[in-house]
Amino acid sequence: MLPDQCGSSLLLHLPDDVLIIVTRSLTPKDLCNLGLCCRGLCELVASEKVWLAQCDKLGVVPYKDLSEWRKGVSSYKAICRFLVGVFPLLGIWVHQNPELGNVVYVMPGFVSVVGCRIIPQEIGPLGIEDGPILWAPVFEILCDFEGSAELFLHGRERDHDYVYPGSLKAVDRTCNVLLLEDFSRKISRSDSGISKSNRIVGHNASMVPFSRLAFGDRRKLLDLVTGQVRLQVPDAKNSLLFPRLRGDDDLSEDIAILSERRLLLMQMYNLGSSPSDRTAGARLLLDPTQLEMSEIRKNMNCTHGCETSWYGDGSQTQCMKKKTLTGYFRDSFRHMLGKSNSINGSRETLKKNFSSGGNRHAQLHEFLHSGDTIGLMLHASTVKLSSYRAWPNMHDSRFALYKLPMREPVAGQEYSGLWGGTFGWPPGRPSEDKLGKALFFLLLSYEKSQGQTLLIATKILEGTHYVLHPNGSAMFIVNIDESSLEPFPWEADEDGHVLNVECAYNGEGIANGYGFRYPGSKPGSLFVIQDGLLAFVWRESKSVLTLQRLNLEKLLKKGERMHALPPVSNFAYLTRSYSNVFAAFSNSANTLSSQRN
């Protein structure tokens, strides 16, 4: 080999198709480092084809859709930067309250990723695959022209849909907790020369972390900030968050609507209002994610003694009763303990403060005085979590969603993943005489216990009106190493076709209903049926839970969008409830046509 054909010159003379194959084996970080070697490699690494291959390798967006994404950004490198930053967010996030809901699926949108809440619901006459699934928007993260992320929280107040602009903190690659927080920071003269994304997430070591505030102070501050930064998008331009799934595969109309909506949101993010009304952005500093701290302090003082409405209904505040003599001494006692005068401080927290002999929480005024501006922030972090049967043990006083580990099916663990189904036979569709079967989402995972391989079906969503099984319950547990000799109770499906039962396993199914955090169980068998169906049958009652594997992204693209809850509770509804808190929004879907049409 000649000397002039070695090193970088060899790469520079490779044909384009070979070069793409070579660079596809590199990570985006490796590619950037390669471009620092010499001028020739820098120009090579800047190639659009190279970065298009990197975007395709991530597998987040189909190759045929990447060209549409490219029209709204500066380069494929910008798209890759965005996708690498938000990739850890994709998947299923949950919270234990309310017991029927708070399942949020994060999926690609249009030059964005979107968090969608699955509404607890019953299966319609078309079944799971063909019937529209109900969902509501929680948040979306847009990719701007240079590949930076712009956050919009969704919510509904006073019969209007709003978006609430904020920032996205750098996402941990192994993140398992998604927190909604306020951030506070100082403004310096040098900030004017810093890029927007760096200015948003920059923090000083002296800043008081939002997590150190008492729960009541955090809730009150989030409610206040969302009330200040909210922006209303015209209904005609707020109907779509991602392209719909159509039979003709013609997405041009949806792409046009989504492109126009994205440009509007980016303008609103930068101006704090619609382009025709720029006065609303006058109160925002640097970015529409930040407010003048003097205004925050003034509003907090004005609302002292009043509690912001948790549900964001017609009344904005709920004034407290006049302070009694007992209340005066109680507040004085809290003050001596160093307790924040949060109106929502719990007795349990007070006991912990008393037993520890110190101040467990930061004072609200410390957080307010630690910076000049404040704004919303989405923080995806990695924390050490314990779990029970694939369900994480959650903190009750954090506005957080917890990620469920999704494992792809492999040899020996063929049934891993998300499954949906109902009670009763035949599966999938309700019968004519009994409409409205509850839709269940189950996460199937494997666990080793005492030398045995267990398949655990963890309930993450239940479509009943009042909860029958707690969130995180194991609907059934079967021993994959122990075959069942029980016959399947039915010989044919709904169309009269003879069933082919491939195999069956012994196990136990949930019993005793609600009232137990870890309910009892009764023996049963899991049957693997043709066409990818699973059916767990309780041996004594002959009740059957039938399941089929779900493609949630596909279902959402065919689904119907519902109204969201008020912004803070829409992100994580922390109030324990055993009934369907989304019923007021989802029930209307049974009689109204899809809002997106």
Tell me, what's the pLDDT at 344? Answer: 35
Q: What proportion of the chain, given as a percentage, has pLDDT over 70?
A: 73
The mean pLDDT of 112-124, rounded to a whole number, is: 92
The mean pLDDT of 102-107, rounded to a whole number, is: 95
Contact 573, 120 (CB under 8 A): no
Domain ranges of the chain: 3-86, 89-320+362-382+562-590, 403-554
d(CA 122, CA 438): 4
The mean pLDDT of 19-34, rounded to a whole number, is: 81
Q: What is the pLDDT of residues 153-202, one digit of tens each?
A: 999 998 889 999 999 999 999 999 999 999 887 765 454 444 444 444 44
Whether 135 shows a pLDDT value over 70: the answer reads: yes
Tell me, what's the pLDDT at 38? Answer: 77
Tell me, what's the pLDDT at 293? Answer: 65
Predicted confidence band at 396 (pLDDT cuts at 50, 70, 90)?
Answer: confident
Integer angstrom CA distances of residue 381 from 141, 176, 177, 366, 403? 17, 6, 6, 24, 11
Contact 122, 568 (CB under 8 A): no
Integer angstrom CA distances of residue 199 from 51, 193, 204, 286? 27, 9, 11, 9
* 98 cis-preceded (ω within 30 degrees of 0): yes
Whether 403 shows a pLDDT value over 70: the answer reads: yes
Q: What is the pLDDT of residues 315-353, one digit of tens each?
A: 333 333 344 444 544 554 444 444 333 333 344 443 443
Q: What is the pLDDT of residues 202-258, one digit of tens each?
A: 445 567 889 899 999 999 999 989 988 899 888 766 778 999 887 666 788 899 999
Q: What is the pLDDT of residues 404-446, one digit of tens each?
A: 988 889 998 999 999 999 998 877 565 555 557 899 999 999 9
d(CA 215, CA 575): 13
| Beta-strand relationship, 521-529 and 501-510 | antiparallel
Predicted confidence band at 553 (pLDDT cuts at 50, 70, 90)?
Answer: very high
Tell me, what's the pLDDT at 468? Answer: 84
| DSSP letters spanning 338-395 | T----TT--HHHHHHHHHHTS--SB-HHHHHHT-SEEEEEEEEE-----EETTEE---
- 192: which residues sit within 8 A by CB, 6+ positions away? none
Whether 260 shows a pLDDT value over 50: the answer reads: yes
| Beta-strand relationship, 560-561 and 134-143 | parallel
Tell me, what's the pLDDT at 222? Answer: 93
Whether 469 shows a pLDDT value over 50: the answer reads: yes
Q: What is the CA radius of gyration of the chain?
A: 27
| Beta-strand relationship, 160-168 and 149-157 | antiparallel
Contact 368, 184 (CB under 8 A): yes
Q: What is the pLDDT of residues 481-519, one digit of tens each?
A: 999 999 999 887 777 778 899 999 999 999 876 665 667
Query: What does pLDDT average to over the chain?
Result: 78
Q: What proportion of the chain, given as a percentage, has pLDDT over 90?
A: 42
Whether 306 shows a pLDDT value over 70: the answer reads: no
The mean pLDDT of 131-136, rounded to a whole number, is: 87
Whether 526 shows a pLDDT value over 90: the answer reads: yes
Choice among 16-25, 256-265, 351-360 with the minimum mean pLDDT = 351-360
The three-state secondary structure class of 523 is strand
Tell me, what's the pLDDT at 26? Answer: 83
pLDDT: which is higher, 389 or 179: 179
Residue 473 is given by DSSP the state -
Residue 120 is given by DSSP the state P
| Beta-strand relationship, 160-168 and 373-381 | parallel
Fold of 3-86: Monooxygenase (1.20.1280)
Integer angstrom CA distances of residue 585 from 64, 231, 362? 35, 21, 37
| Beta-strand relationship, 391-392 and 533-538 | unpaired
d(CA 105, CA 523): 33
Q: What is the pLDDT of residues 531-540, one digit of tens each?
A: 889 999 999 9
pLDDT: which is higher, 207 or 264: 264
**Amino acid of residue 521:** S
- 29: which residues sit within 8 A by CB, 6+ positions away? none
Tell me, what's the pLDDT at 295? Answer: 64
